[in-house]
Structure 1
Amino acid sequence: MDEKQQKITVYVMQSIFSVIGTIGNSLVLYIYLRKKDKSTSSIFILALAGADFFTCLVIVPFNIVTLYLDYKHGYDLMCRLYMFLITGGVPFATLIMVAIAFDRYFCICHPFLHVITIFRAKLIILILLSFAGILGIMVALMYGINDIISDPSSQSNNSCYSNTSSSYQQVTCNSTINNANMSSNLSDDLINHSYGMCSPNYDIFNEDFVLLFSKIHAVLYLLMFIFVVVLYSLIYREIHVRRARKAKRKRSSLYPSQSCAPEASLGDTHMTLMPGPMSDGNADEPTKNGHSSKRRKIGATLKEKQFYANIRTAAMLFIVTIVFLVAFLPALLMTQELIPYNIVIFYTYFVYNTANPVIYSFMNQSFRIELKNMYSKMCNGSRKH
C-alpha cells in the first residue's frame, strides 16, 4: 500500500469512527443522564462518554483535515488549537481510566470506607480535566507555524506525518528520493522549500525543556498503565479470596447460619445489618420475634447482590480499559520510536472512542434494556404521527 492509499485508508477509517462514535456516545450520554439513582461508576462513565463524544464530533474531523493539509494550517492559532485538542483529550481519557480503576478497587475491596462518593467523583473529574487541560496548553505553546526545509527534487512525493498522541509531536517529512527522515534541522546543502508547517518551535520553551517534557509525559503514561494493571490485579485477588471463603463456608455446616461471614471477615470492612430487635444473647430470641433472622438473611443477600453487581461493573470497565490499552499502545510506541511508524496503525487509537458504547451494549443489561425502551418509544411515537 503506497502513501496515498494509506492516507485514503486513514480518512475513511476516521470518518467511520467519527460517525459511529458520535451516535454511540450520544446514546450513552442520553441513557446515563436520565438515570435517577446515579452511582460513582455512572459519573465516570458519563465523563468518559462526554470525552469520547467530543473527540468523535470535533477532534477526529479536525485531525482528518490536518492530515489532508499535511499539517500546513497556515496560522499559529489553528496549529496550537489542534495540538491542544489532540494532546489534551488523550491524557484525559487515560486519567479517567485510572480513576475508574481506583473507584472499582475501593468499591469491591473496601466497600464500607466510602472513599469515592458521588461528590468526590465529580470533583476528581474536574481536577483531571484541569490537569489534562494544562498538559494540552503546555504542548500548544511548544508548537507553531514553521518553515520546513525539503528537497525540491522530491516535492511531489513528500509527505509529512506527526506523532500526536505524545506531548512532543515529531513532524517529519519523508522523501522517496533519499529514503531519509528530514526535519527542520536538515543540513545546509539542501535547497530550501518553505511552507507553513505546524511543528515544534522554541520561541517560548527551549529544545531541552521540550525533550524533557516529552520524556516526563511518556513516563506519566507508563505510570498510569501500571496503576491500572495493579489495581485490577488487586480486584481480581479480592474476588478470588471472597469466592474461596464462600465455597469453604458452603462446604461446612456453619455456612447456613453465618451467611454474612465472607463479608464480615474482611479486615477493612464491617457488616451493618438491617435494624431489628436487640438480642440479650439468648439463642432463641430471634425466633421469638420472628423477624430478626429473616432480616439478617435479607441484609446478607442484598450485600451479596451488591458485591456481584460491582464485579459485573468492574468486569465491563476492565474490558473498556483493555481496549484502550490495546488501541493506544502502538501509537505510544511509535511516538517513542520503539517500533516503525505506520500511519494506518498509528491512528487506530481513535477506535477506542468508538468502542465503548458497543462494550456497554454487550456487557450491561440495564443499558440494553434502556436502548430497547428508547427504541420502542421512538417507534410508538412515529406510529402515532
Structure 2
Amino acid sequence: MSHRRKARAPKAVAEFARYLRTETVGGMVLLAGTAIALLWANSSVSGSYAALRDAEVGPHVLHLNLTVGDWAKDGLLALFFFVAGLELKRELVSGELSRLKAALLPVIAAVGGMVVPAIVAVSVAWGDPRAGAVWAIPVATDIAFALGVLALTGTGMPSSARVFLLSLAVVDDLGAILIIAVVFAGTINLVALAAAATLLALYWYLQHKRVTSVWLYVPLAVAVWVAVHSSGIHATVAGVALGLLTRVKRDPREKESPGLRLEHRLQPWSAGFAVPVFALFAAGVPVNGAALSALATDRMALAVMIGLVVGKFVGIVGSALLAVRLKVAVLPEGLGRRDLAAVAMLGGVGFTVSLLIADLSLDAADAELAKAAVLVASAVASLLAAAMLVRRSKVHQED
C-alpha cells in the first residue's frame, strides 16, 4: 500500500507541473496574485500588507538585506527571466527565430512595439518633469498574461498566432532587460561586474564540457546572481544571461537538452510561484477616488496608459505591415492582417516588466500611480484583445 502511494506522488507532482505549464493556468494564477494584492492593499488591514512588503530579510553582507518586496522583484523575477532566456535561446537556435525570414517579422514588430510606445509616452508627458523617466514603462509585453488571454479567447486562431506572439514577447522582454541593464543601472562596481563575467564564463565552459551536476550549477547560479546584484546592474539580468548561455541543442545520446529540461522543470515554478508572488508585492496600489481621479488627469499616468494601449498596438501593427509591404518579411502561415491586429492588441498587456520598470524609474509615490496606470491599461488591452480574438476565432472556425 505504501509503495503504491509513493508511486502515485511523483505522478501527481508531474501532472500538477504540467498543469502549471499551460498558458491559461499561468495567466489565472498571475491574475489571482494581482487580485489578492489589490484587495489586501485596499482593505482595513492594508498596514499589514505594507509591513510585510517592506520588512527587511537577509544578511547585510554584500547588501543582501533586502525587503520582501525587493526579494520578489530582484530574486524571484530572476527565475522568470532565466526561463525567458532559455525560451529565447531555444527559439534562436532551433525555433522560429532560427530562420531569418520567419524571425524578421516578430523582431521588427517587437522593435516597433517598443519605439512607438516610448515616443507616445514622452509626447503625452511632454513638459512634465517625469517625462524623461516614464518612456520606458510601456515598452514591455507580459509573456504570461498575453499568452494566457490568447489561450483562453483565441481557441480558433491558427497556431502561428501563438508562435508570433511568443517570439514577439520574448524579443520584447530582452529589449526591456537591456533597457534595465543600461538605463537603470546604479553605480557600477567593476570588481563585482568582473566577478559576474568570470562566473558566467565558467557556467558556459561547464555547459560546453557537458557537465550536468546540479550541486555545481545551483551554487554557481546563486553566485552569479549575487555578483550581478552587487555590481549595480539589476539582478534580473543574471537570469537572462544564464538562460542564454545554457545549451539547448540535444546531443545524440540525450533524451532532451539541458535547456529544455530546465525549462520544463522551472517553468511551473516561474508561472506558479515567482511571477504571482512578484505581482502580490508589486500590484498592491491604493485604488480610491483620488487615485482614480489622478489616473484621468495626471499626464504621467495618461502617458503610461496611452503608450500601452495605443502605442503598442500602432507600433506592432504598423511596423509588421510595413515590413510585409516592403517584402522584408512575410506574415506567418494562416495569419491574416486582422489576426495580426488582434494579437498585436495583446502587446498592451505590460504588467510584470512594466511594473518592475515603474519601480526602478520613479520615486515611491509616482511609482504607485504609474503601476495603477499599468494595471488599468493592461486590463483594457486584455479586454479589447479578447473581443477581437473571439471574433477572429469564429471566422476561422467557420472557414
Give the TM-score normalised by the residue count of structure 1. Answer: 0.30
Higher fraction of strand: 1
Higher fraction of helix: 2
Give the TM-score normalised by the residue count of structure 2. Answer: 0.29
Relative contact order higher in (CA < 8 Å, ≥ 6 apart): 2
Q: Which has the larger radius of gyration?
A: 1
